[in-house]
């Protein structure tokens, strides 16, 4: 899964048009230009190593990795998936890195037979659940392409009237109720967008629907956006979006082993005991098929906001004379999956781990999602291999992870993180994620606030291939054009919050490991379809593969700085500022909803003030210790900076979902992918529950105080 950047695509399109003209020379960093975290005596050497590293990744090699990884569909647990694991392992070994496969046994479904979908009106019409062959794209005729299906759809055989429920969010069902339409016992058809698809399945089930069809409306990523594939990058009519409907917001990973690794000897739930699985059949379809269904619907004309891009007035349906027959036939089994884990041992701090991760499994070929990231990982591995040959000795350990079964629910990363939980809590410095690394030329990033400085710093030292400016400059120029100045570090480009939908989730939200995610994004209209192919990438996403190179340079540079720094670039002043901003917004909401009365805003402000003060003091000490090369002091400060993020973890977990333990960041219940900062507090405000609001606020304040205490202990 990628992040939810698709919504911003229109903005991106505009920005491309506006910025293509302006080419200004990039200010190349001098070999002595300071790097945050490095003493003056070590900067020159670090810059030399980094420049050598950045000279290694090249377009030809990145292109070849991507071609090789996307030859066959490689859905998690298949032989073709295993082959990609072996390829990645062997490539990394050939660069001189130690690399091993790590196997887990997890609960996965494949369609036994393509789903049966029939429209029943005065006659019975069989509808298609396969994607079409696209002339021109050679892999689109591959017989191994899986038919359209949803990961973790239930098995079912249902026939019922159809109701169109827009995006399938709670508010949409409210609208239906107002229009006098009840979905109980019916099959709903909903469109993709505005929430994670698992949320659509859950809300449909909660409202009594017995089946759920999800389609890609042309308004979201089809012809309303631009030319469709193969003429352009957008979704063609006979294309649908596969994807998991696991309740990721409850817990990710193997549904049968929440909180524990899926290895022999560990207890497993029975499938019917898993709380993160839907009980109704869920099926994705293409928009030509959706058109056939929606065109027939009667009942009230659509409420406000329900109309999509098909050329007729949408009706909500619900009448007895338009029914669907939906029969899913899933082969559920415990199946083997394979992570690849490669490591470069640190020369001085072997027990401090800088972890880079990207998933490798794909719904079909996955050229963007995720193998642009896998190609980048291999180029980074090749770069590190070259440096090692030339005598580079990273101070801390670097671990490269190629995850499996991310698409089903972050499984490979979650199982590994659960298995290594104790060690990770002790040793992990940070986790740097890449998923769909390249689908265009527009940089975007998400991260915990403490790592904003690291991300911005690295983007200043990598060149944007199209404009020749630094990635940072290009990123900032576009942000300025598209958005008014924000309150977050005025003048600095905004880095968004981590929600869920990719492999940083177990690290950040279960264990409290500071995490980042990033990518170069563009007009990506073929998400989770058979056309997310090598051909698409070669023609639309990154012809020339220069952005694969830039992503490699950036990711590797960030890792090198974390692995080699004297004093780690973790800035808790930024964290305090961000938390203050979240609280300002939350209390504004609380006042609007008349819930602020019993809430101790003063206690919040004083906790955040203390954190800000302590953060400032640590930063001063860090800079001073770097200047004085005070190794003993730096060791203490670094440990505190690493452990501070861990203190946001509350072992009791979030309300009703104990797997999620981070008190600031988690996906929202009804957003699924998008972050809902101060999660439980915000949820309580949404639920208008003042008792929960008070209790969650107390827990957040406790967590902030723990962070402050940990930072203080470094003194």
Contacts with Zn ion, residue ranges (CB under 5 A): 1, 369-370, 435
The catalytic residue among 46, 205, 406, 645 is 406
Q: Report the 10 Å Cβ neighbour count for 118.
A: 15
Nearer to Zn ion, 416 or 452 (CB): 416
| 234 closest CA partner among 184, 139, 297, 309 | 309
Q: How far apart are CA 500 and CA 141, in angstroms?
A: 33
CB of 243 to Zn ion, least distance (A): 10
611: Cα separation from own chain's centroid? 28
Nearer to Zn ion, 374 or 474 (CB): 374
Spatial neighbors of 471 by CB under 8 A, at least 6 apart, are 443, 459, 460, 462, 463, 464, 550, 554
CB of 1 to Zn ion, least distance (A): 5
CB of 3 to Zn ion, least distance (A): 9
Nearer to Zn ion, 299 or 541 (CB): 541
Nearer to Zn ion, 280 or 437 (CB): 437
Nearer to Zn ion, 213 or 410 (CB): 410
Q: How far apart are CA 505 and CA 667, in angstroms?
A: 9
CB of 76 to Zn ion, least distance (A): 11
CB of 408 to Zn ion, least distance (A): 11
CB of 366 to Zn ion, least distance (A): 7
User: Is omega for the bond preceding 370 within 30 degrees of 0, making it cis?
Assistant: yes
Q: What is the DSSP string of 361-374?
A: --SS--TTTTHHHH
Nearer to Zn ion, 457 or 501 (CB): 501
Nearer to Zn ion, 379 or 435 (CB): 435
Q: How far apart are CA 563 and CA 347, in angstroms?
A: 10
CB of 597 to Zn ion, least distance (A): 44
CB of 380 to Zn ion, least distance (A): 18
| 362 closest CA partner among 46, 155, 78 | 78
3-state secondary structure of 462: coil
User: Is omega for the bond preceding 230 within 30 degrees of 0, making it cis?
Assistant: yes
Q: How far apart are CA 242 and CA 220, in angstroms?
A: 15
Q: Is 131 a catalytic residue?
A: no
Q: How far apart are CA 23 and CA 477, in angstroms?
A: 12
Instruction: Look at strands 323-328 and 243-244 and give their pairing.
Output: unpaired
CB of 362 to Zn ion, least distance (A): 8
The answer to whether the beta carbons of residues 584 and 604 sit under 8 Å apart is: no
Nearer to Zn ion, 78 or 397 (CB): 78
**Angle 681-682-686 from CA coordinates, rounded to 5°:** 120
Q: How far apart are CA 374 and CA 352, in angstroms?
A: 24
Q: Report the 10 Å Cβ neighbour count for 227.
A: 14
* Cα dihedral value 436, 339, 152, 368, nearest 10: 20
- Residue 486 per-residue DSSP state: -
Q: Which strand (E) or helix (H) includes residue 15?
A: helix 9-19
Nearer to Zn ion, 370 or 409 (CB): 370
Any idea which residues carry the catalytic annotation? 406
């Amino acid at each position: 899964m990628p992040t939810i950047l698709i919504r911003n695509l229109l903005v991106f399109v505009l920005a491309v048009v506006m910025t293509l003209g302006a080419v200004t020379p990039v200010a190349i960093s001098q070999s002595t230009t300071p790097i945050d975290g490095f003493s003056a005596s070590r900067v020159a050497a670090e810059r030399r190593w980094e420049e050598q590293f950045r000279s290694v990744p090249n377009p030809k090699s990145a292109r070849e990795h991507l071609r090789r990884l996307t030859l066959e569909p490689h859905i998690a647990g298949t032989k073709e998936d295993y082959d990609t694991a072996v390829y990645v392992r062997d490539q990394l070994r050939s660069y001189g890195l130690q690399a091993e496969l790590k196997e887990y046994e997890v609960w996965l479904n494949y369609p036994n037979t393509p789903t049966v979908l029939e429209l029943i009106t005065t006659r019975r019409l069989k509808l298609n659940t396969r994607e079409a062959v696209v002339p021109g794209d050679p892999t689109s005729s591959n017989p191994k392409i899986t038919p359209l299906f949803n990961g973790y759809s239930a098995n079912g055989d249902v026939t019922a009237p159809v109701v169109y429920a827009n995006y399938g969010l709670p508010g949409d069902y409210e609208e239906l109720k107002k229009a006098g339409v009840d979905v109980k016992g019916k099959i709903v058809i909903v469109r993709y967008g505005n929430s994670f698809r698992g949320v659509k399945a859950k809300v449909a089930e909660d409202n009594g629907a017995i089946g759920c069809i999800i389609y890609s409306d042309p308004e979201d990523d089809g012809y309303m956006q631009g030319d469709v594939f193969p003429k352009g990058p957008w979704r063609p009519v006979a294309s649908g979006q596969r994807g998991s409907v696991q309740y990721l917001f409850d817990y990710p990973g193997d549904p049968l082993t929440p909180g524990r690794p899926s290895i022999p000897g560990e207890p497993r739930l029975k499938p019917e005991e898993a709380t993160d699985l839907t009980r109704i059949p869920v099926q994705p379809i293409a928009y030509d098929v959706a058109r056939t269904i929606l065109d027939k619907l009667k009942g009230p004309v659509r409420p406000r906001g329900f109309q999509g891009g098909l050329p007729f007035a949408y009706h909500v349906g619900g009448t007895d004379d338009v029914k669907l027959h939906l029969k899913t036939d899933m082969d559920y089994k415990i199946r083997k999956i394979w992570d690849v884990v490669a490591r470069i041992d640190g020369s001085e701090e072997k027990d401090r781990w800088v972890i880079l991760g990207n998933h490798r499994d794909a719904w079909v070929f996955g050229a963007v999602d995720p193998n642009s990231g896998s190609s980048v990982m291999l180029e980074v591995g090749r770069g590190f291999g070259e440096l090692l040959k030339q005598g580079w000795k990273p101070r801390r350990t670097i671990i490269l992870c190629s995850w499996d079964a991310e698409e089903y629910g972050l499984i490979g990363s979650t199982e590994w993180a659960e298995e290594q939980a104790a060690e990770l809590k002790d040793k992990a410095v940070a986790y740097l994620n890449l998923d769909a690394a390249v689908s265009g030329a527009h940089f975007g990033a998400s991260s915990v606030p403490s790592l904003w400085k690291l991300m911005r710093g690295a983007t200043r030292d990598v060149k944007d291939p199209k404009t020749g400016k630094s990635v940072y400059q290009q990123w900032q120029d576009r942000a300025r054009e598209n958005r008014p100045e924000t309150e977050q570090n005025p003048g600095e480009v905004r880095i968004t919050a981590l929600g869920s939908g990719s492999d940083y989730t177990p690290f950040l939200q279960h264990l409290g490991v500071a995490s980042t995610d990033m990518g170069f994004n563009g007009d990506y209209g073929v998400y989770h379809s058979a056309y997310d192919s090598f051909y698409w990438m070669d023609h639309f996403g990154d012809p020339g593969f220069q952005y694969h190179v830039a992503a490699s340079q950036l990711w590797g540079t960030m890792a090198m700085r974390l692995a080699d720094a004297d004093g780690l670039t973790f800035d808790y002043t930024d964290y305090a500022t961000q938390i203050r901003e979240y609280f300002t917004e939350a209390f504004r909401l609380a006042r609007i909803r008349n819930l602020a009365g019993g809430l101790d805003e003063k206690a919040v402000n004083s906790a955040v003030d203390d954190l800000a003060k302590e953060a400032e003091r640590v930063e001063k000490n860090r800079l001073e210790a770097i200047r004085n090369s005070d190794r003993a002091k730096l060791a203490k400060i670094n440990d505190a900076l690493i452990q501070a993020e861990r203190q946001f973890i509350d072992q009791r977990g979030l309300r009703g979902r104990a797997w999620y333990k981070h008190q600031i960041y988690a996906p929202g219940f009804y957003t699924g992918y998008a972050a809902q900062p101060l999660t439980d507090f915000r949820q309580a405000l949404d639920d208008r529950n003042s008792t929960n609001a008070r209790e969650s606020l107390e827990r957040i304040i406790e967590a902030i105080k723990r962070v402050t205490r940990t930072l203080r202990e470094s003194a």
